[in-house]
Structure 1
Amino acid sequence: MPEFAFELELCAHLESRGTDIVARQLGASVADPGSRILDVVCVEPGSQFDERVAITSEEIPDPAIASAVGTGQSRYWKDAFDCHPGRAREAVERALEIGFFERDHGASAEAGRDYVRQVARYPNWYDRLVGIENKPDLGRPGDLSSQLRTDASLALVDEAILATESYVTRAHLNRIPQEVGVWRIHRDERDADAELEIEVIREPASLPVDEPGIEPLEDHPGRTEIAVVDAAEKARARRRIAERAYGKGWRTFEFPRCDACLADGSSGATLPRCGWKGRVVDAAVECDPTCPGYEPAVRAVDEVDLETERDRRTPWRANPDGKRRRQSGLDQFG
């Protein structure tokens, strides 16, 4: 199975198994942002999850969470941030837009500058984070070894797992850090509608998320540059991952405007399954008029409402009481 299809089907299956927030393609590095992208992240809700749900359906910007803006007396925004003013202003505007901040119109009018406060105290809403690296074909590993070494040594997630369709040999296991769990994903090939099954080849170890971590940077002949990431930096990075997962989810794909592609909801989650290719497709890179199976769409693909589906199938809420509706299309990457 192509990695994109593998990823979507695994996300749909993981979502159906419990109450975790499932997301895909999230940054998971600290010293070198963007150098490590986790294919799938599962965020386990914590004791104050309902309080987070009530605030907003959107990702809350980390500078707004880390700021000295509280729920009590309003504060002049510039005095509440310890970062570049441009970044602070952007965070303030976004926090106001999504309903995490509110403007104190009285104080702002009197002083001639913006005073803001939080609408609610930021809750301790998530517990464990699980990162999953998808590699359907272990015969084409790419940078798999270095990616998993980074996950194990940096320890941003509580557990790191490799998911594959390949038969896993002892040689494969020896090349994978022992802390990393291994799943083999099965499906009855005789039944196209059969659910995925997860065979646990090796259980993941609990990673030391509360301790400093080592992030590999650049490899050179005979040596590797590293950065030591302290526990506080890791905690903030974990919060960013959890927030990104909550706001983004995993339904960040498009449906092609082609009648050969069906909005297939047989697994409970609607996926772009191409009848001509016989599998889930990545519309952004695979589907255009040059495809031999292309048929100009007559059906209304715009009727596919992935936001409503996520609201129905998960503990995330698209439109919490008193908060404004999330703006689709703003969070497709990151």
Structure 2
Amino acid sequence: MTEFAFELELCATLEERRDGIVARQLGGSVADPGGRVLDVVCVEPGPAFDERVAITPASIPDAAIESDVGPGRARYWKDAFDCHPETARRATERAVDIGFFERERHNGRDYVRQVARYPDWFDRLVGIENKPDLGRPGDLESQLRTDVSLGLVDEVILATESYVTRAHLNRIPEEVGVWRVRRRRDDRPAIEVVREPTSLPADDWGVELLEERPGRTDVEVVSPAAKARARRRLAERAYGKGWRTFDLPACRTCRPDESSGATLPYCEWAGRVVDAATVCGPACGGYDPGDEPAVDLEAERERRTPWEGDPAGKRRRQAGLDRFGEP
């Protein structure tokens, strides 16, 4: 199985068996943005998860969350941000567009307020590294060592199809859990827990590996505050993005496959789930142009998870609330 197909089938399985949010291909670094990408992230619900669901289906910009815009008296948008004006303007517009801010006009100026106080909505974050074939590990050991030393997520797990030997376990940090994912007779994935993960100190200092060269390793120490902000960004990105970030191609050979419990792009010519964005098209020997399958992936996500694609929101309906000031 390709790593792409393995990842989608694992996401479908986790979505079916765990509470919260499952997402894929998210940045997992702090000091070096983009330096580490987590294959799968599971966001476990916190005490106010339902409040977050009610606000917006999209990721809320971090600048908007950190701003001094509150749910009480509306504020002039420029006075509420401690960042570059262009960054503030983009965050303001995006927050208004997705329903986290509501806008008022006073004397020709834009004033904004939050529709609701930002909630404490997520608990633990679990990062999963997918490596179907341990015979082709690539940078696996270095990636997992970085995940453990940084401690951005609460647990790190390696998921594989390979038979896991003692030699494999000895080559990766002992804090990393290991799953062997295999197909059952009903063609659904089964997860065998080879080793349980150890909880990481996500609220403590972390060390991020930046670059390794012969005789030298560059690292950066990351503060608990920086990790907390990065964890919130990671959770928000996961909430808005989910894992259905793939295309179903306009090809008669590719059909929506629901054997994993969710719709996946299965190519009958190739005999597997395919990444349509990279392998489908006229250059493919099995390409047969046709209409794109009528599948609503957002509706499927809403049906199978607590995420809501069109929540009622919390926009104020009463007039004159700003006279009460900040609560």
CA distance in 2, matches of 1:84, 1:221: 39
Equivalenced residues, count: 315
**CA–CA separation in structure 2 for the residues paired with 1:323 and 1:47:** 18
Letter in 1 for 2:99: G
* Residue 321 of structure 2: aligned partner: none
- Is 2:158 the partner of 1:149? no
Alpha-carbon shift at residue 269 of structure 1 (Å): 0.5
Question: Partner of 2:296 in structure 1?
Answer: 305
Alignment correspondent of 1:328: none
| Per-residue CA distance 1:274-306 (angstroms, 9 max, x = gap) | 111111000011111121111112x442x1100
2:264 counterpart of 1:271: yes
1:201-220 equivalences under 5 Å are 201-220=194-213
In 2, Cα distance between equivalents of 1:290 and 1:93: 41
Q: Residues of 1 paired with 2:210 and 2:36: CA distance?
A: 10
User: Normalising by structure 1, what TM-score?
Assistant: 0.92
The answer on whether the counterparts of 2:70 and 2:114 sit within 8 Å (CA) in structure 1 is yes
1:172, 1:113 → 2: CA distance? 61
SS state of the match for residue 104, structure 1?
Answer: strand
Q: Kindly indicate whether the alpha-carbon contact (under 8 Å) linking 1:264 and 1:270 is maintained by their aligned counterparts in 2.
A: yes
1:244 corresponding residue in structure 2:
237
TM-score by length of 2: 0.94
Correspondence for 1:14: 14
**CA shift digits 1:8-50 (9 cap, x unpaired):** 0000000000222000000010100000000000000111000
Equivalent residue for 2:173, pick from 174, 177, 180: 177
Tell me, in whole angstroms, the C-alpha distance in 1 between the residues paired with 2:5 and 2:176.
Answer: 23
Deviation at 1:256, TM superposition (A): 1.3
User: 1:220, 1:89 → 2: CA distance?
Assistant: 41
Cα shift at 1:75: 1.1
Q: Match of 1:244, SS?
A: helix
Aligned residue for 2:236, secondary structure, equals helix
Q: Which amino acid letter does the alignment assign opposite residue 195 of structure 1?
A: R
Percent of aligned pairs sharing the same letter: 72
Q: Deviations 1:137-195 (Å, cap 9, x if unpaired)?
A: 0111111111101100000000000000011111111110111101010113xx5x521
RMSD of aligned alpha carbons = 1.2
What is the 5 A alignment of 1:69-108? 69-105=69-105, 108=106
Contact map agreement 1:271 1:280 (CA 8 A) in 2: yes
Which residue among 302, 305, 317 is the counterpart of 2:308?
Answer: 317
DSSP 3-state at the match of 2:170: helix
SS at match of 2:243: coil
Q: Between 57-66 and 264-273, report the one with greater CA deviation.
A: 264-273
Shift of 1:323: 7.1
Please say if residues 98 and 323 of structure 1, whose CA atoms lie closer than 8 Å, have aligned partners that are also in contact: no
Task: Give secondary structure in 1 for the equivalent of 2:58.
Answer: coil
- Using the TM superposition, give the Cα deviation of residue 267 of structure 1 relative to its aligned residue in structure 2, in angstroms: 2.3
CA distance in 1 between partners of 2:295 and 2:248 (Å)? 8
Unpaired runs of 5+ in structure 2?
316-327
Q: Which residue of 1 aligns with 2:188?
A: 195
Structure-to-structure mapping, 1:156-175, within 5 angstroms: 156-175=152-171
- Kindly report structure 1 stretches of 4+ aligned residues shifted beyond 2 Å: none
Aligned residue in 2 for 1:124? 120
Question: 1:331 maps to what in 2?
Answer: none
Rounded to whole Å, the distance in 2 between the matches of 1:288 and 1:103 is 45
Does the CA-based 8 Å contact 2:124-2:154 persist in structure 1? yes
Match of 2:219 in 1: 226
Local SS of the residue matching 1:114: strand
| Superposed CA offset, 1:48-104 (max 9, x none) | 000000000000000000111101111111111111111111000000000100112
Distance of 2:260 and 2:145 partners within structure 1? 33
